[in-house]
Structure 1
Amino acid sequence: MSGRGLLEGQVALITGAGGGIGRGIATRFAAEGAAVVLHCRTAVGAADEVARTVRKSGGRALVLQADLTDEGACRALVAGAAEWGGGRLTALVNNAGVQPTRELSGMTVADWRAVVDTNLSSVFACTQAAAEVMREQEGGGSVTHIASIEASHPAPLHAHYSASKAAVVTHARAAALEYGPFGVRVNTVSPGLIHREGLEEAWPEGVRRWERAAPAGRLGRPEDVGDACVFLASGLASWISGHDLVVDGGVSARPTW
């Protein structure tokens, strides 16, 4: 496997590992030496494919299925990951999430809860369960939430999504304060627009606007998010906690006037 071994010996759980960003995170963690537990809710085939890729490259991977809107399922997922890791879990990446579109004026409480339960409540439950494992082991551990630049730059039709991601950023800061004394670091990564298959065909004007606005001149890649997560889980970030690492090709640096 390629990589510098930045995560050698680590056991990492990545939620939502069957999707594009989750795949990018999982493969980068494995390339840096981590044994990876790949969570999925329904995309079992996609997660299995990621696991096969990791194993073919000489890494270790396990696929676990869970509905993260259920607190008990979150705790069982973390317990299963730690058991597979020989009682250890050194890194958690809370990546699972949904991004539906809905006008705020027509949004129902059920619409709101469907997003908040998946994007925020699951982060709370998985982090709490993982921290209980990490605080009892030598070296502690790291937790990284995948937030979004929409946490501070909301887009139309995304009120529930943007609010959930803003709360994820603040949760990480609060968790960094409370879990820090036990050796557990908590951070967020806030991606901009990340390429996925079919995006250019489905939203050509949006992609063109992004490419014009981004100083880097391109969409992000899942591996770009994975690299940021690797850094935050590695020893290179041992004194970084409560931080939001923006990965957006410079879009957020552009003036809005």
Structure 2
Amino acid sequence: MDSDGPLDFSGRAVIVTGGTKGIGAVIARAFLTAGAQVLVCGRTDPPEPPRGGGRRAHFLPADVRDPEAAGVLVDGAVERFGRLDVLVNNAGGSPDADAATVSPRFVEKIVALNLLAPFYVAQAANRVMREQSTGGSVINIGSVSAHTPQPGTAAYSAAKAGLLALTRALALEWAPKVRVNHITTGPVRTGSAASVYGADEGAAVDGVIPMRRMAAPDDVAHACLYLAGGLARYVNGADLAVHGGGEVPARYLAIRGELPGEPPDRLPAGPPGGFPDA
């Protein structure tokens, strides 16, 4: 990178999808603070775009599930900044749903948001990055659900597993000019997520994570800075786990008497209210 250090993004241009709120806004702020110019997108105008380093992110409305809209988003970044160095495919999420009764339309929307949209935006970004002497970096924000699904997340887990496989496939095809990596996130404590994990606002969840806390959005943002920067210039096709060590196995907690028994034919269908949007 043409910068004063591996985490200095001065002169670099970044897109963060779903970057107007939650984890995405914190990722955008981290890149702004590191010196980058940042474009965020969403389906509705934010009350205030993310700010950092004395500057503000630019905003373009976009439904990234539409391949044409994905192309317009990337073109907008290039028109505004003259280049594109980093794409963070952050937009995603799903409410919980019973796989036996969920509608085809629901499944299509979840797969479109969590798998197809990252593919479409990455395709458009690659067309720009591969022509740049410095190439570029694509970071896909995934979920532990890709590795360990739980009841109520069938469509979401399948889409996130597909995103992980997509990451590895694109890393093979687009190297060496464009690096493509994946972050596996566990539960993240955001404003919208605090109430999702129960009346105790996630205190019980904290107890089954080896690090004894849910991730903060900054934990994910810092991982993005690493993967996009010079310290990771040989990191390609990686799955970086940002989940505090995963979860202590339920059987271990059950043996220790720390897990209430559940009837064998019925398990809880995911957290109340579903999984928050990234």
**TM-score > 0.5 by shorter chain:** yes
Aligned to 1:119: 114
Q: Report sequence identity in percent.
A: 39
Give runs of aligned pairs for residues 1-257 of structure 1, distance below 5 A. Answer: 5-42=7-44, 44-46=45-47, 48-50=48-50, 53-54=51-52, 57-59=53-55, 61-86=57-82, 88-181=83-176, 183-197=177-191, 199-202=193-196, 203-204=198-199, 207-252=202-247, 254-255=248-249, 257=251
Larger Rg computed on CA atoms: 2
Q: Could you tell me how far 1:110 is from its partner in structure 2?
A: 1.0
Residues 28, 38 of structure 2: 8 Å contact kept: yes
Residues 7, 233 of structure 1: 8 Å contact kept: no
2:56 and 2:134 map into 1 onto residues whose CA distance is 21
1:200–1:83 Cα change, 3 Å: closer
CA deviation string 1:187-245 (max 9, x = no partner): 01111111122544452357233211112111111111100011000010000010111
Residues 5, 33 of structure 1: 8 Å contact kept: no
2:100 and 2:194 map into 1 onto residues whose CA distance is 29
Q: Could you tell me how far 1:49 is from its partner in structure 2?
A: 3.4
Long gaps (5+) in structure 2: 252-278
2:210 and 2:24 map into 1 onto residues whose CA distance is 25
Normalised by the length of structure 1, the TM-score is 0.90
Matched residue SS, 2:168: helix
1:200–1:135 Cα change, 3 Å: closer
Residue type at the aligned position of 1:79: D
Residues 154, 162 of structure 1: 8 Å contact kept: yes
Long gaps (5+) in structure 1: none
Q: Could you tell me how far 1:8 is from its partner in structure 2?
A: 2.2
2:195 and 2:159 map into 1 onto residues whose CA distance is 28
The CA RMSD measured in Å over matched residues stands at 1.8
1:82–1:18 Cα change, 3 Å: same
2:156 and 2:200 map into 1 onto residues whose CA distance is 22
Name the structure with the higher helix share.
1
1:204 and 1:235 map into 2 onto residues whose CA distance is 42
1:170 and 1:61 map into 2 onto residues whose CA distance is 30
1:201 and 1:165 map into 2 onto residues whose CA distance is 23
Matched residue SS, 1:104: coil
1:82 and 1:60 map into 2 onto residues whose CA distance is 17
Normalised by the length of structure 2, the TM-score is 0.84
State the aligned residue count: 246
Q: Could you tell me how far 1:167 is from its partner in structure 2?
A: 0.5
